[in-house]
Every structure is written in structure tokens, then in C-alpha cells.
Amino acid sequence: MTVGPGSGDGLAPIERVLRKEWGRLLALLLAQYRRLDLAEDALADAFATAAERWPRDGMPSAPAAWLTAARRRVLDRLRSEAVAARKAPVLVVDARVQAEAERAMVDPGDLLEDERLRLVMLTTHPALAPEAASALTLRLVLGVPTSDIARLFLVGEATMAARLTRARKKLVAAGIPYAVPDASALPGRLEGVVQVAYLGFTAGYAPGSGPDAVRAELAGEAVRLGAVLHELLPEEPLPALLLALMLLQHSRRAARTDGDGLVLLPDQDRGRWRHDEIGSALTLLTPFVDGTRSIPAGIGRSYYLQSLIAAEHATARTAEETRWDRIAALYAELEDHTGSPVVRLNRAVAVAEAEGPRAGLELLDGLEAQLPGNHRLPATRAELLRRAGENKAAAAAYEVAIGLCSNEIEQRHLERRRAELPPATPTRGQEWSVPGPGKDRT
Amino acid sequence: MKYLVLLYQDETIWPALDDAERQEYMEAHMAFDRAVSEGATTMLGGEALGETDTATTLRHDDDDRLVLTDGPFAETTEQLGGYYLVEAADLDVMTTIAQELPHGYTVEIRPVVDMGPVFDEVPAARSDSPAWA
């Protein structure tokens, strides 16, 4: 089973259509009734009924039918609540937005796109903790089930349900507006939006103890979110760059694992990469590369450089043909831009490939202070020392890395590498010791 | 919505400021006040508070006896030094205006909970004098 971005191609057809329509319909219900709890429950009910009837009665004529069903449920609930003394708190929705939603209910048209953007701005608001915002966005905008979101973020379903509930409560209680910021504030907010979306993506690739492959598929939902953002804001560079980056990284998912665990980048069957997705990403990147579109500062520039690095890997026909010189130069630029020690670590790997292990090792000097407790640093050092023929030092570095590593799959891999250390002669291997989430190793 | 805007700062900072620096703080407060009254927002109140060594904390022990303690409820690195109560349409409006406040502060924005008809029915609850006066 694979879940492709923008399609959910591992899902039943009904699920796919439901999830595609979820965000639009929820956004409309919210705008009119301002009650997150009611809108979500009613829509879920309407979808459950639709899923039940679908096989019997065939494809429903239009999502408008679900909307009608959901509206009826909301109204029923509101009526039964009217007798209660205290009204439940409602979202802050501009009167004009509410009126537009009412019109759209009767005649769903162009307004729908805008409604979904409002929903995204709500669920990615900076007043929410980033991880909670990421989970809530997947739930409310894409209709991803709570159990799937829990698996993606490596927490129990009850924990995730509680986290979502708390985030929903905050949205309403704190008065977070259901509105798109004006043109001057939008670019600033978008930095936060894309980071929230990317957080969901990297969660799917973060090493965990469970079946990693499944979680990588769930990361496809975050790619779908990136596609939605790009669709809503095609003129904005940040969503385009984010989508390109995620597509490139996600395109390798099927080749990343086999029966035994992780398959590292040079050993991956490039025929199993999703070349259609790589193509889409390159199309997104082209105008930035040829200067038609300008590259934004800040996080956008970082996504751009990371995308170019991923694109170098994606377009190399074989591992041997990888242009490590270009990748090393891009990492140098990225390090300049971010000042991140993790980027430096990746740069050292690329430089080692391009210029030899000694050059790579030089770049690792002094990184320990900046990356204390990080097992990837000693693991990388061990690989480079091995290539330089310093097997004794390599064995010691593997020891440190194994001690710091908390992920079983990676630990086993490191132990295997240490056991493989030849007694004397240096080897020229292309194998890398540790997968990095969202990086260009696997 | 009503928001309580809580102003926190290490309270040793203020006494150490010179006149020019204090003037900057005052100007920021005035700018905030102006922004609130000029925008679609309303100032409902606000005061500066005495330092935490003037605070008295009241609680009742297990036998329901009154216990008064010298000092604040919680020892923190930054202390509550003042507050505003502001009516604003939503959190974005509130956070935009709150940027006028002195940047040396940590500003906590708390929504005021609408307690509904029970409290609205008490006529004195919304006047300037306390309900029992």
C-alpha cells in the first residue's frame, strides 16, 4: 500500500473522495456556525452515512449532498442546545465571512477555495504549539483520522486525541480569528504555516520503534497538505518550495525499506523511486532556478537549497553518477544560510564523497560541542575514519555512536558496520551509516 | 472578546533604569493606550502593581483556617508588574496592538471567560465599584 501525495491512492475510492472534500465542507460549516465541535461531528456523521450508502446506492451526485446532511445535523444539535442555559463558546468569525458562507451553502462556487485557506490559517496559528498545530491541520483540513495522526507522531491514540482536543479548545477560547491575514501580514504568517506542514512530514520519517514504512506513507498526508497550500496560494513562493522539497524526499519512500530494514541511498533501487513525483518537483523548482521567480529569504531559501540537494540525488541515474561536488557546494551555501551544525554534518559527508574522507573529517572538527549527544556525528566520523583506513579510531567512534543511538534499527546497522571493519586495508564504500529524517541519506 | 494583558519583567530592572530609559517605557505605554483607543478596541482598565515583596498571599489550610503569607504566590524569574484589560475582536488584533508595549516585557495574553447570564444579571458586576459596595 502506498499513499501518494494529493491522491491518497492507498485508500478506498470513497475515502479518497471524502478526504478530498473534507476541508472544504468543514470550512464552510465553520464559517456559518462557528462551532468547531458541532461542525466536525456533523461532517463525520454525514461522511459515515455516505460511506455506508455508497456501495448500495452508488456514487453520490455531489459533495453538496453531504453538506446538506451535515448542516441538518448541526441545526438539530443547535436546536437541542438552545434549551441549555449557557451557550457554548464560538469561533471569532467576521459577519461578512459568515454571510458569504451562507450564500456558498446555497451555491457552492469560487468561494470554497478561500474558505479552506481560512481554515489553514486557523489551524496553523502561531498561538498553537507547532506539533499540535501540525496534528490539528491534518485532522481539520485533510480529515486524517486521529489514529493515523497518532501513529505519524509516535504517540498513543488517546494522547493524540487529548492533544487535538486541547488545541481545538484553545482556538475557540483564545479568540484565534477565522480569517486570512491581510496582504502585508500574509508572507510572515506563511513561514509558520509551511513549517507546521513540514513538521508533519518529518514526523513520518523520524526514526521510531514501530514499522517505519507505514509512517512514511502517512507522511504522504503532509505532502497532500503541501499540495493544498500550493493550490490555494499558487503565487506564493513558500508553498511551492515546500511542496517541491517534500515531493523529492517522499519520492524515495518505496525504496527506503526492505524486509531487513533501512536501505541506504546508494543501495536503493532507483526504479522504485516515484519519478512522476520527482518530475512534479522539478517543474515547481525550475522557475526559481532560472530566475523567473525570486527566491525568498528566510526559511524559503533553506527549502530551496534543500530541494536542489534532493534534486541532485533524484536526477542521478546511478549512485556513482551523483554530483557530490555540486551537493557539497549547495551544503556550503545552506550552512552559510542557517548556521546549523546538522547542515555542517551533512556537508562533511558530501565533501568526503567529493574530495575524500580527510576533507570530510576536517569539517567535523569541533562539532561535538554543538551537537552533544547526537549519535549521527560519531557515526559519520566512524564511516569517514574507516574510509581513511583508520580502523582502530573508526571502531572507537562506532562505539560512541552505538552508545548514543536510541533507535533499534539504526543501532543494529551501526553494530553491523563495526563488525564489518576490516582488520587493516582501507575500503572505498559508498554506504552511509545513519538515515537522517528529511535529509538526503535515504 | 475581553483579554487580560499581563506584563512580566524581572522587577530589579525598573529601579535600575535611568530617566531617559524610563521615559521610553512610558512612551511605549502611551503608544499602546493610543493604539487601543484609536483602533476597533476598547481599554477597560489597567494598573501598575507594587513589587512582589509587597504582596500578601492568602489561602486556607486543611482545617479551613486563614493563612496569610508574606510574598507572592509563586517565585518566578520574571514577575507580574502590571496589567491591562482590553476588549478586542480577536487574538490577532490583540497581539498586533500589544506589540506597542515596552519590548522589555514578556506579555501574557489571557482571554477572559464569558461567564454567561449568571454574572450578567448582577447589575453591579460591570460598574466601577465592586458588587458588594
Asked whether residue A182 falls in the same domain as residue A295, the answer is no
Q: A111 and A59 share a domain?
A: yes
Cell numbers standing for residue B120 = 450578567
Confidence of residue A208 (pLDDT cuts 50, 70, 90): low
Which CATH number covers residue A342? Answer: 1.25.40.10
Q: What is the mean pLDDT of residues A93-121?
A: 73
Q: In this prediction, does ipTM exceed 0.90?
A: no
C-alpha cell at A33: 456556525
Q: Is A355 helix (H, G, I), strand (E, B) or coil?
A: helix
Secondary structure class of A332 (helix, strand, coil): helix
Lowest mean per-residue pLDDT among A103-117, A408-422, B103-117 = A103-117
- Place B103 in a pLDDT band, splitting at 50, 70 and 90: very high
- What percentage of chain A carries pLDDT values higher than 90? 52
Nearest to A92 among B89, B116, B117 (CB): B89
pLDDT band at A96 (very low <50, low <70, confident <90, very high): confident
Question: Residue A217 sits in which domain range?
Answer: 13-233
- Residues A359 and A369 grouped into a single domain: yes
Min Cα separation B110/chain A (Å): 7
pLDDT above 50 for B125: no
Residue A138 three-state SS: helix
Of A86, A89, A177, the CB nearest to B91: A177
Interface test with B, best of A34, A83, A90, A92 (most B CBs within 10 A): A92
In a domain, A3, yes or no: no
Task: Give residue A407's pLDDT.
Answer: 77
Indicate the average pLDDT of chain B: 89
Q: How far apart are CA A370 and CA A331, in angstroms?
A: 18
User: How does pLDDT run across A368-384, given as a tens digit for each residue?
Assistant: 899 988 899 999 999 99
* B114 neighbourhood in chain A, CB within 8 Å: 89
Residue of B nearest to A94 (CA): B89
Q: Spell out the residues 6+ positions from residue A186 whose beta carbon is closer than 8 angstroms to its own.
A: A180, A236
Segments making up each domain of chain B, as ranges: 2-126
Q: Can you tell me the distance from the alpha carbon of A339 to that of A346, in angstroms, rounded to the nearest whole number? A: 12
Which residue in A307, A279, A272 sits closest to A2, CA to CA? A272
Are A344 and A248 within one domain?
A: no
Residues A112 and A248 in one domain: no
Task: Write down which residue in A250, A284, A308 finishes a domain.
Answer: A308
**What is the C-alpha to C-alpha distance for residues A442 and A320, in angstroms, rounded to an integer?**
15
Give me the number of domains chain A comprises. 3
CA dihedral of residues B109, B110, B114, B120 (deg, nearest 10): -80
CATH code matching the domain that covers B2-126, chosen among 3.30.9.10, 3.30.530.20, 3.30.70.1060, 3.30.300.90:
3.30.70.1060
The pTM score is 0.82
Q: Residues A47, A50, A51, CA angle at the centre, nearest 5°? A: 85
Is A63 in contact with B61 (CB distance < 8 Å)? no
- Confidence band of A215 (pLDDT split at 50, 70, 90): confident
Question: What are the residues whose beta carbons fall under 8 Å from the beta carbon of A212, sequence distance 6 or more?
Answer: A257, A262, A409
Both A20 and A133 in one domain: the answer is: yes
pLDDT at A55 over 90: no
Query: A251 and A169, same structural domain?
Result: no
**Residues A175, B94: C-beta atoms closer than 8 Å:** yes
Q: Is residue A1 part of a domain?
A: no
> Among partner residues A85, A87, A174, which is closest to B91 by beta-carbon distance?
A174
Give the residue on A whose Cα is nearest the Cα of B116.
A86
- Could you tell me if A146 and A166 lie in one domain? yes
How many CB atoms neighbour CB B2 within 10 A? 16
pLDDT of A385 > 60? The answer is: yes
Same domain, A249 and A184: no
Considering only residues A53 and A332, tell me which one the structure prediction assigns the higher pLDDT.
A332
First vs last C-alpha separation in chain A:
20
User: Which one of A209, A233, A257 terminates a domain?
Assistant: A233
In chain A, which residue's Cα lies nearest the Cα of B115?
A: A86
Per-residue pLDDT tens over the stretch A331-355: 999 999 999 999 999 999 999 999 9
Is the Cβ of B114 closer than 8 Å to some Cβ of chain A? Answer: yes
- Over range A33-45, report the average pLDDT: 88
- A435 located within any domain: no
Residue A426 included in any domain:
no
Query: Considering the domain boundaries, does residue A340 fall inside one?
Result: yes
Same domain, residue pair A55 and A117: yes
Lowest mean pLDDT of A149-153, B21-25, B88-92, name the range. Answer: A149-153
* Predicted confidence (pLDDT) at residue B122 exceeds the cutoff of 90: no
Q: What is the mean pLDDT of residues A176-184?
A: 88
Chain B nearest C-alpha distance from A240 (Å):
26
Q: Which helix (H) or strand (E) covers residue B7, if one does?
A: strand B2-9
Query: Is there a single domain that holds both residue A209 and residue A261?
Result: no
Least confident interval from A62-71, A100-109, A173-182: A100-109
Q: β-strand B66-70 against B56-60: which pairing, if any?
A: antiparallel
Domain closes at, from A215, A233, A251: A233
Residues A395-414: tens digit of each pLDDT: 999 999 999 988 777 888 89
* Residue entry with cell 489514529: A147
Degrees to nearest 5, angle at CA A404 with A403 and A406: 100
Residues A174 and A71 placed together within one structural domain of the fold = yes
Contacts of A181 in chain B (CB under 8 A): 92
